Amino acid sequence: MEEKRGASPKEPHKRRVRYAGTHPRGYKEKYKEHQPEKYADTISRVIQKGSTPAGMHLPICVKEILEFFNIQPGQKGLDATLGYGGHTKEMLRRLEGQGHIYALDVDPIESAKTKERLKNLGYDDDILTVKLQNFAKIDQVAKEAGKFDFVLADLGVSSMQIDDPERGFTYKAKGPLDLRMNPEKGISAAERLREISREEFAGMLTENADEPYADEIAETVAARLKRGERIETTIQLKEAIEGALSFLPAADRKEAVKKSCQRTFQALRIDVNQEFEVLYEFLEKLPDILAPGGKAAVLTFHSGEDRLVKRSFKELKKEGIYREISTEVIRPSAEECARNGRARPAKMRWAIRG
């Protein structure tokens, strides 16, 4: 039977991507986890098993942060690293509709999703302002907003970025070796590897991740690139690391490769996003955006970050700029770590403006 003249042909029906069997592995297969508002039971089961649902991020040390801030209605706060918005949502709840929170993020993909998610919960522009901005530029935000009663910076990578293979943050799935928080700016990790020397790469691995096999990994990567081999994907970098550690006894190799992959990806991520430079600038400007008695909390996830925060807080306390700082790190509870394995390396430090 002929189609009616002028009628457009029907597009073939596309079946929704569904779980492959009972244990989905692919990021896109987990369609229920990507829709927490529709599949609350599934989300709850995933979290109870100690996993983070795909496309989500579980905020860390929420109880400890809220106890320290003691947020009152009418106050003004800043979440310098918005991410999935878990911390922001809980801080907004404490404002009880009075006051304002500013939130920053450099990721144009995730920040737009989070802004829409929070808006759907009733947090619109009257109480929440989301800016696509690096948290090193907090002084520019303060020019518009004034000084803040509380400021939070969570320096961890959001689970949404880690889990999505297209962002290139994980060695566990094939994807482009990118690692940029904002994929629209700067150069990717793959491009960075092509431009640095073996010595520079070894130094990066040592400085940014305390990698014990820095020389071996840098030598192998440099040799492969020199031979014209491509290291453009996460799996190609993982294979290079496996090759670099092939001298290890078989019984130890699998665990060593896993840890070296984690550290190598961390080192590259810190480098391409200039994370230490950004953190240093943030810490330098932080006292000037806090109101008298204003509180700041910083969550770190590796020793390099924690050293910078600890040193800054101690020096500014000695100068009388902070009237009080945490003397010991605050860690997530054992219960939280059991529920969310990604909380284990977290350390929280705080400071109160004089």
Report domain extents, the chain: 23-56, 62-159+276-353, 182-272
* Whole-angstrom distance, CA of residue 261 vs CA of residue 277: 23
Token couple for 8: 């457009």
User: Do residues 286 and 317 lie in contact, with contact meaning Cβ atoms separated by under 8 Å?
Assistant: no
pLDDT in single tens digits along all 354 residues of the chain: 444 444 444 555 555 555 555 555 555 554 444 555 544 455 445 445 444 544 555 889 999 999 999 999 999 999 999 988 899 999 999 999 999 999 999 888 888 888 998 999 999 999 999 999 999 999 999 999 999 999 999 998 766 666 677 777 788 889 999 998 888 889 999 999 999 999 999 999 999 999 999 999 999 999 999 999 999 999 999 999 999 999 999 999 999 999 999 999 999 999 999 999 999 999 999 999 999 999 999 999 888 899 999 999 999 999 999 999 999 999 999 998 988 888 899 999 999 999
- Could you say which architecture CATH assigns to the domain 182-272? Orthogonal Bundle (1.10)
Q: What is the pLDDT of residue 339?
A: 85
Which residue shows structure tokens 């990118």? 178
The packing angle between helices 198-209 and 214-226, to 10°, is: 140
Strands lying side by side in the sheet with 76-79: 128-132, 100-105, 76-79, 148-154, 290-300, 347-353, 322-325
Q: What is the pLDDT of residue 136?
A: 94
Token couple for 81: 């690293």
Q: In CATH, what number does 62-159+276-353 get?
A: 3.40.50.150
Token couple for 326: 């945490």
Q: What is the pLDDT of residue 36?
A: 55
Q: What is the pLDDT of residue 3?
A: 42
Q: How many other CB atoms are found less than 10 A from the CB of residue 121?
A: 12
Token couple for 318: 């000695």
Task: Please report, for residues 176, 194, 196, 222, 258, the alpha-carbon distance to residue 228 in angstroms, rounded to integers and kept in the order given.
Answer: 18, 11, 15, 10, 26
Q: What is the pLDDT of residue 110?
A: 81
Domains 62-159+276-353 and 182-272 share a fold: no
Q: What is the pLDDT of residue 6?
A: 47
User: Do residues 52 and 340 lie in contact, with contact meaning Cβ atoms separated by under 8 Å?
Assistant: yes
Q: How many other CB atoms are found less than 10 A from the CB of residue 98?
A: 10
Q: What is the pLDDT of residue 303?
A: 86
Q: What is the pLDDT of residue 30?
A: 45
* Whole-angstrom distance, CA of residue 95 vs CA of residue 110: 24
pTM of the model: 0.79
